[in-house]
Structure 1
Amino acid sequence: MKSNSSFIGKYSKKLPLPLILLLFLFVGAIGLFTLIMHEVLQEREEQVDHHIFQFLSSHVINPSLTPFMKTVTYFASATFLQIAYIILIAFYIILKNWKRALEIAAIGMGGFIVNYFMKLFFHRVRPPDPLIAPLQNFSFPSGHATSAFIFYGLLAYLIWKTDLNRTYKYLTATVLIIFSLLIGFSRVYLRVHYPSDVVAGFCIGFSWLVITISLFTRLKKKADIEEKQEATQPDKV
């Protein structure tokens, strides 16, 4: 037991701080999603959702703000994201970065499929009296929140991998993440999702992004090592 704890201690000291923080956030996202799933879907504890709706109705919602929220929510709609992903993939194809283009396609399509089947599995009905046309599919988790965090988080990651000044990287990443959170808020404002749907969607989007980026990074490193080994091997006669 002591040897195991000392091994974990030594190993954790070698990990960079950003990676440790990312691991904590990943575990936290999975834990929060599990908690929401248990409390809201199994125990039917919806008081927090209803309290937030009441607060928004009394203090936030007004006719002048609603058109803005409708515009914000559009930027995670299926129509917009399909076009945005095509443009992003085409950009990397033009650069002949086929691996990156494939990664983006897999991350986007995979996130949509995960959210789609989770909606079918949990079968939660949407809130009553929405401020826009009622939607016919299920509510949990929020597809807009999931897709927004995946897409804008992916954009932040791609920008981070460029040669931009670090200050601009931080600024751009912050703006993109805040915008994805605003999209999630717009779904609650418009009463097409419960707040718990949106938080769960953020958890799924963040977790999916971490898993897929980590997986593709490992695969690329492995492929690069294999290519170098093949390049250094003498030609067989």
Structure 2
Amino acid sequence: MINTENPPRGSLVPASIFVVIYAVWALLVSSGSHIITMFDNAVVGIICNNNPANVAFATLFTNLGNTSVITIETIILFIILITFRQYAYAWFTAGVMICANGYNWIIKHAVERRRPTIHHLVYADGYSFPSGHSVGSAALFGILIVLTILLIRSKFWKSLLIIIWALFPILIGYTRIFVHVHYPSDVLGGWIEGITFVLLGYAFLYRYYIEPKMLERHQE
């Protein structure tokens, strides 16, 4: 059931725009562009420090973006949606997460960017671009934002939850830079990729589920 009278219209246009932005960003990273170097250096200079409280927060909070944690959270969300018979939303969730993380693996091995050489504050292996933590968190919490818009009636709770969901990927991305396992451009690329797949998934959800349901209601 759709608990909102005016769900945002789903379109491939915003998703296509993000695809282009992501493609340009990935090309700049893979080519070692000076623009990327300047961007990374500027952001690192602002974010990174040796404050013990910040180090403790970053090394702990970054674990919330681990693949295992994101996978468990996705499975729990999927089960909850199935339990409440929100089958379309459940498959929307699963589809976006599978595609986003699968594509992330492909891009990592296509670009083959090495991680920052500075001492890492947490363990990290594999290639650097894009940040898997950023992709996974942007996709999962982007899905939660979509579900909140569609299923929550109260404007207060809707606004509050959207703010909370948006903060998680921002903070997780911040910690990946702070603990020196990713360049800022990795994190930004991960956010763009995650958002892109959420937009693509919602475009299909709207076209094949929400729009037909709305037409049925108007015809009754």
Fold shared per TM-score above 0.5: yes
Match 2:200 to one of 196, 205, 211: 211
1:100 CA drift (Å): 2.2
Letter in 2 for 1:174: I
1:223 CA drift (Å): 6.5
Higher RCO (C-alpha under 8 Å, 6+ residues apart): 2
- In structure 2, the partner of 1:53 is 44
- In structure 2, the partner of 1:120 is 109
Matched residues, percent identical? 22
Match 1:129 to one of 97, 101, 118: 118
Aligned equivalents of 1:107 and 1:30: distance in 2? 15
Match 2:140 to one of 132, 144, 151: 151
Q: Which stretch has the larger CA shift, 62-71 or 147-156?
A: 62-71
- In structure 2, the partner of 1:160 is 149
Q: Secondary structure at the match of 1:64?
A: helix
Q: RMSD of the TM alignment (CA)?
A: 2.8
Contact 1:61 1:189 in 2 (8 A): no
Aligned equivalents of 2:145 and 2:19: distance in 1? 21
Q: Evaluate the alpha carbon distance shift between residue 62 and residue 213 of structure 1 in structure 2; reply closer, same or farther with a 3 A threshold.
A: same
Aligned equivalents of 1:130 and 1:160: distance in 2? 41
Contact 1:33 1:204 in 2 (8 A): yes
Q: Secondary structure at the match of 2:52?
A: coil
Q: Which runs of 4+ in 1 moved over 3 A?
A: 18-24, 26-32, 54-57, 221-226
Aligned equivalents of 1:55 and 1:39: distance in 2? 22
Q: Evaluate the alpha carbon distance shift between residue 100 and residue 33 of structure 1 in structure 2; reply closer, same or farther with a 3 A threshold.
A: closer
Aligned equivalents of 1:71 and 1:127: distance in 2? 20
Q: Kindly name which structure, 1 or 2, has the bigger radius of gyration based on alpha carbons.
A: 1
Match 1:101 to one of 63, 74, 90: 90
1:27 CA drift (Å): 5.5
Aligned equivalents of 1:175 and 1:114: distance in 2? 26
In the superposition, the TM-score normalised over structure 1's length comes to: 0.77
Structure 1: unaligned runs, 5 residues or longer = 1-15, 229-237
How many residue pairs are counted as aligned between the two chains?
208
Aligned equivalents of 1:130 and 1:21: distance in 2? 43
